[in-house]
Amino acid sequence: MQIHNSSTAGEAIDSAEGARAGQWWLVWRKFRRHRLAMIGGFFTVVLYLVVFFAEFLAPFSPDRYSAEYTYAPPQSLHLLHWDSSQGWFSPYVNGYKIEVNYEQGRRLFVVDPEKRHPVGFWVQGDSYRLLGVWQTDLHLIGPLDPAAPMYLLGADRLGRDVLSRTIYGTRVSMSIGLVGVGLSLFLGILLGGLSGYFAGWTDNLIQRVIEFLQSIPSIPLWIGLAVAIPAEVPPVQVYFLITVILSVVGWTGLARVVRGRFFALRTEDFVKAARLDGCSTLRILFRHMVPSFMSHIIAVVTLAIPGMILAETSLSFLGIGLRPPTVSWGVLLQEAQNIRSISTAPWLLLPGLAVVIAVLALNFLGDGLRDAADPYTV
């Protein structure tokens, strides 16, 4: 309510300036005042920075394993501490005392306060190509001794760094997954729109196709696909293909909704007016009719994002989700999906937090954009 009130207060200035300003500037002004949308936008930008600079931001390569540190718990990073050579700011992490216990079937870790592994920023580590071009081995953060253990979010069953894997996972999850959402959004609006706008036999045909798509079983299709994909195809391409197929099958729900809406809208005056003005069908659909239920579309899209990000988890039992060494948040959560992890290594669930943050950020960003673009509300 607070935000709402303050924005009403600024209305007068708005309309005065609005007379001089362009439409986009107005939208931006309105958007900027939407505090949550700004936060959402900020996180979205951060996530995409992570996508592009994952190798630099991650301390280690995602598949660097270690026999010694399987299921090592998270360490805390001590930033301030007096060191004669470096002064007060000399961050370090504590080492572990490790005992292999066969009776318990695990390694037992105790933080060893005596052992300090100095940590630095802008340090050398595993080498990589930044943005696929520049060969370098610089990392934002990492242990000064590349062999020292540093597991800020703990280690997984092979002693791989969960933090680094989550950072690398952002890349696939925030790119390919979103393409799928976009594609099914487009198909849903287009086909649902045509169905509702023209009605009659167009509607009949599209609706039968929807009934058909909704009742054919997808699992045998996936199994068939899993068998048919040749061994040489890289995992990321397989995943992309799957996403495209998911969206080709997944547009039906939205299409039904759009159609229902269009049935109600097609007789409205503004649609008639646009038609009499000689607007093309697509323009009427996308410029005139769709904006009148933008909130619904934003809600559907944001709700579809986690589904797409995690899509490979539901398919991975067939072996056609993402395959190692490619990581995604879905893969990481899939790996944590057992009692062993939940009970003895709960830090493996942390990638779930990344999904929640991404979805919330995109949702608030979307809400903010919608509000800002809507001429009726303030």
- Range 72-131, binding other proteins (CB under 8 A): 100, 102-107
Residue in 313, 327, 347, 372 binding other proteins, rule: CB under 8 A: 313
> Where does this chain touch other proteins (CB under 8 A) — which range of 48-56, 63-71, 73-81, 118-126?
63-71
- We find the least distance from the C-beta atom of residue 354 to other proteins, in angstroms, to be 9
Q: Is the CB of residue 180 less than 8 Å from the CB of residue 311?
A: yes
How far apart are the two ends of the chain, measured CA to CA in Å? 13
> Where does this chain touch other proteins (CB under 8 A) — which range of 39-47, 117-125, 166-174, 298-306?
298-306
In angstroms, the CA 264 to CA 258 distance is: 10
Residue type, 309: I
- We find the least distance from the C-beta atom of residue 304 to other proteins, in angstroms, to be 9
Q: Which is nearer to other proteins, 7 or 175 (CB)?
A: 7
- We find the least distance from the C-beta atom of residue 95 to other proteins, in angstroms, to be 19
User: In the window 30-59, what residues touch other proteins (CB under 8 A)?
Assistant: 36
- Our finding on whether 273 is near other proteins (CB under 8 A) is no
What DSSP designation does 155 have? B
Q: Which is nearer to other proteins, 21 or 294 (CB)?
A: 294
| Alpha helices (H) in the chain, listed in sequence order | 2-9, 11-18, 23-33, 35-57, 162-173, 176-198, 200-215, 219-228, 235-250, 252-265, 269-276, 281-283, 294-309, 311-315, 329-336, 339-344, 351-373
In angstroms, the CA 33 to CA 21 distance is: 17
Q: Is the CB of residue 144 less than 8 Å from the CB of residue 118?
A: yes
- We find the least distance from the C-beta atom of residue 175 to other proteins, in angstroms, to be 18
What sign has the CA pseudo-torsion 220, 222, 223, 228?
A: positive
> Where does this chain touch other proteins (CB under 8 A) — which range of 47-55, 146-154, 282-290, 306-314?
306-314
Q: Which is nearer to other proteins, 70 or 94 (CB)?
A: 70
- Our finding on whether 275 is near other proteins (CB under 8 A) is no
Q: Which of 362, 308, 318 is nearest to 176 (CA)?
A: 308
User: In the window 219-238, what residues touch other proteins (CB under 8 A)?
Assistant: 219-221, 223-224, 226-227, 230-232
Residue in 44, 70, 75, 94 binding other proteins, rule: CB under 8 A: 70
Q: Which is nearer to other proteins, 78 or 97 (CB)?
A: 97
Q: Which of 150, 303, 323 is nearest to 229 (CA)?
A: 323
User: In the window 158-217, what residues touch other proteins (CB under 8 A)?
Assistant: 158-159, 199-200, 204, 207-208, 210-212, 214-217
Q: Which is nearer to other proteins, 91 or 180 (CB)?
A: 180
> Where does this chain touch other proteins (CB under 8 A) — which range of 54-62, 117-125, 167-175, 303-311?
303-311
The DSSP element (H or E) to which 268 belongs, if any, is none
- We find the least distance from the C-beta atom of residue 347 to other proteins, in angstroms, to be 14
**By rule CB under 8 A, what string of x and - marks binding of each residue 138-157 to other proteins?**
-------------------x
- We find the least distance from the C-beta atom of residue 256 to other proteins, in angstroms, to be 4
In angstroms, the CA 378 to CA 316 distance is: 46
- We find the least distance from the C-beta atom of residue 77 to other proteins, in angstroms, to be 26
Residue in 29, 115, 117, 323 binding other proteins, rule: CB under 8 A: 323
Q: Which of 94, 154, 143, 146 is nearest to 119 (CA)?
A: 143
What's the length of the chain? 378
User: In the window 236-255, what residues touch other proteins (CB under 8 A)?
Assistant: 252-253
In angstroms, the CA 168 to CA 73 distance is: 20
